């Protein structure tokens, strides 16, 4: 190349550069990897800057496109902020939103969705794996309800699913599915929205969206902007690796989670948050009675990478709304820790974490005068 093009690596949507051709091939390969990992078609992958954008694109996109058909949306209290805050904004703009409340285990009954569906419902947005407590919702049953309803599209936030439990878009009956790379050991700042193209076979057209950002016509004109080739390639690789290793890895992680929970349970005054059976093992959420939340975190954080509340929202330092939705008191919600278990976690890590937590919780209970609690 004698003169450089405007960008370093070429624009994969550009048809006039040789650089662009190479970049386009890389992006196509990544599209295939992501699609294969989640049971979707490569053409259904719309790249985004993360699951936050994917969630916003799904929710605003459907709401705006179908605003003449209806302005009612169903979601749940335990969704990610990206879903809840988008819904709140739609409420400010005149939409109505039903927020389903899960049971004390964090689970929704598909009957709750059935009861909430209205003629003017245009969207049901529910997550597959909850990011704070790891519970897995029965999305397929909801998919069937939406298909029966005919007018309600189903969006699934699956940012936490890939590599943690099987997820197959085509079988879920979902129309839209949000994905994120960095939850699967990929780079931050890239994700995807899967947009179904097989609606015809189900007797209604495919879901349509009004884009969030315009200009340039990339990604089936659903998401304008220069594609970051290196980011997308990273996401593809991460998803391929996740798919290859996940079943073996899940058994190993389940064992570690068991060990962690049993270790902590001997402390007494601990409660596990969320269903233990309908959940992925990569997330364990535990409430510690008799200790104040901020002190708990400060005491363990030099040694154990745990978080309070949602890892994504802890800038706001408020008690987890997810745990509150499960009926936990404000205090207990604050003194809860979310442990993430994954590829790099070993048995020795678990034992060390149990030791630190046991020591620190006992110490804090002594300081708090709640040691007998």
Partner 1 sequence: MNYNELTRRYFSSAAGAGELSGADVFRGTAGDREQGTWVQFDLQVREGIVMAARFLAFACPHTVAVSAWLAEQAVGKPVNPRLPESLQYLQERFGMPVEKTGRLLIIEDAWLGAAVPAIDYRR
Ligand X SMILES: Cc1ncc(COP(=O)(O)O)c(C=O)c1O
Q: What is the contact surface with ligand X in residues (CB under 6 A)?
A: 50-52, 55, 80, 82, 127, 131, 157, 159-160, 180, 183, 191, 225-226, 312
Among 103, 115, 214, 368, binds a copy of itself (CB under 8 A): 214
Between residues 205 and 369, which has the closer beta carbon with respect to partner 1? 369
What is the DSSP code (8-state) at residue 42? G
Number of DSSP helices (H) and strands (E) in the chain, helices first? 11, 11
Between residues 112 and 180, which has the closer beta carbon with respect to ligand X? 180
Residue 168 touches which of a copy of itself, partner 1, ligand X, none (Cβ within 5-8 Å per kind): none
Neighbours of 62 (CB within 10 A): 24
Q: Does 31 bind a copy of itself (CB under 8 A)?
A: no
Which H helix or E strand runs over 230?
helix 229-265
Q: Does 365 bind a copy of itself (CB under 8 A)?
A: no
Plot region of 327 (φ>0 → left; ψ -120 to 50 → alpha; else → beta): left
CA 16 to chain centroid: 37
Q: Does 131 bind a copy of itself (CB under 8 A)?
A: yes
Sheet with 96-100: list strands edge to edge: 45-48, 191-195, 176-180, 153-157, 121-127, 72-76, 96-100
Enumerate residues 162-181 that contact a copy of itself by CB under 8 A.
Answer: 180
8 Å CB contact between 297 and 257: no
Mark the segment that binds a copy of itself (CB under 8 A) among 4-12, 69-77, 112-120, 359-367: 4-12
Q: Kindly determine how many residues on this chain lie close enough to bind a copy of itself according to the rule CB under 8 A.
A: 88
- Which residues lie across from 156 on neighbouring strands? 126, 177
Between residues 214 and 352, which has the closer beta carbon with respect to ligand X? 214
Between residues 128 and 328, which has the closer beta carbon with respect to ligand X? 128
Cα–Cα nearest to 74, from 61, 55, 59 = 59
Enumerate residues 229-268 that contact a copy of itself by CB under 8 A.
Answer: 229-231
Residue 369 touches which of partner 1, ligand X, a copy of itself, none (Cβ within 5-8 Å per kind): partner 1
Among 38, 58, 82, 291, binds a copy of itself (CB under 8 A): 82
Plot region of 170 (φ>0 → left; ψ -120 to 50 → alpha; else → beta): alpha
Between residues 298 and 368, which has the closer beta carbon with respect to a copy of itself? 298
Residue 99 touches which of ligand X, partner 1, a copy of itself, none (Cβ within 5-8 Å per kind): none
Q: Does 29 bind a copy of itself (CB under 8 A)?
A: no
Between residues 163 and 319, which has the closer beta carbon with respect to partner 1? 319
Between residues 52 and 112, which has the closer beta carbon with respect to ligand X? 52
Tokens of 177: 């599915």
Among 16, 171, 247, 262, binds a copy of itself (CB under 8 A): 16
Give the Cα separation of 82 and 88 in Å (integer): 10
Q: Does 6 bind a copy of itself (CB under 8 A)?
A: yes
8 Å CB contact between 234 and 263: no
8 Å CB contact between 50 and 190: yes
- Which residues lie across from 287 on neighbouring strands? 271, 336
- Helix ranges (H only) for 9-159 are 18-38, 51-65, 81-92, 110-116, 139-149
- Write down the least CB distance from residue 178 to ligand X, Å: 6
Q: Is 206 a catalytic residue?
A: no
- The catalytically annotated residue of 87, 146, 165, 312 is 312
In the block, residue with structure tokens 């349970």:
265
- Site string (324-343) toward a copy of itself, x via CB under 8 A: ---------------xxxxx
CA 313 to chain centroid: 13
Which H helix or E strand runs over 165?
none
Among 266, 277, 315, 372, binds a copy of itself (CB under 8 A): 315
Cα–Cα nearest to 274, from 80, 143, 108 = 108
Residues within the interface to partner 1 (CB under 8 A): 15-16, 21, 290-295, 297-299, 317, 329-331, 334, 363, 366-370
Q: Does 321 bind a copy of itself (CB under 8 A)?
A: no
Q: Does 112 bind a copy of itself (CB under 8 A)?
A: no
Residues annotated as part of the active site: 312
């Amino acid at each position: 190349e004698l003169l450089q093009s405007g960008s370093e690596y070429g624009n994969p949507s550009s048809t006039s550069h040789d650089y662009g051709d190479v970049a386009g091939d890389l992006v196509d390969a990544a599209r295939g990897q992501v699609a294969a990992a989640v049971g979707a078609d490569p053409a259904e992958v719309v790249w985004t800057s993360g699951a936050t954008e994917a969630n916003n694109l799904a929710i605003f996109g459907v709401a705006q496109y179908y605003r003449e058909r209806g302005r009612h949306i169903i979601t749940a209290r335990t969704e990610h902020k990206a879903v809840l805050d988008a819904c709140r904004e739609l409420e400010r703009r005149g939409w109505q939103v039903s927020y389903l409340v899960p049971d004390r285990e964090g689970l929704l009954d598909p009957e709750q969705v059935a009861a909430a569906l209205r003629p003017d419902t245009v969207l049901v947005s529910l997550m597959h794996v909850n990011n704070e407590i790891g519970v897995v919702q029965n999305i397929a049953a909801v998919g069937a309800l939406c298909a029966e309803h005919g007018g309600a599209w189903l969006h699934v936030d699956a940012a936490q699913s890939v590599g943690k439990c099987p997820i197959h878009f085509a079988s879920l009956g979902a129309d839209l599915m949000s994905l994120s790379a960095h939850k699967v050991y990929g780079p931050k700042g890239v994700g995807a929205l899967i947009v179904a193209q097989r609606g015809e076979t189900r007797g209604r057209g495919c879901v349509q969206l009004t884009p969030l950002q315009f200009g340039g016509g990339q990604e089936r004109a659903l998401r304008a902007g220069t594609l970051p080739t290196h980011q997308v390639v990273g996401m593809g690789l991460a998803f391929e690796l996740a798919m290859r290793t996940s079943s073996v890895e899940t058994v190993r992680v389940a064992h570690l989670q068991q060990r962690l929970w049993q270790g902590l349970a001997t402390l007494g005054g601990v409660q596990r948050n969320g269903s233990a059976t309908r959940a992925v093992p990569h997330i364990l959420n535990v409430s510690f009675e008799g200790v104040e939340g901020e002190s708990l975190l400060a005491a363990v954080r030099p040694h154990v990478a745990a978080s309070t509340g949602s890892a994504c929202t802890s800038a706001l330092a408020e008690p987890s709304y997810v745990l509150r939705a499960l009926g936990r008191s404000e205090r207990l919600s604050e003194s809860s820790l979310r442990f993430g278990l994954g590829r790099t976690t070993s048995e020795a890590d678990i034992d060390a974490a149990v030791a630190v937590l046991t020591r620190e919780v006992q110490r804090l209970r002594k300081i708090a005068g709640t040691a007998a609690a």
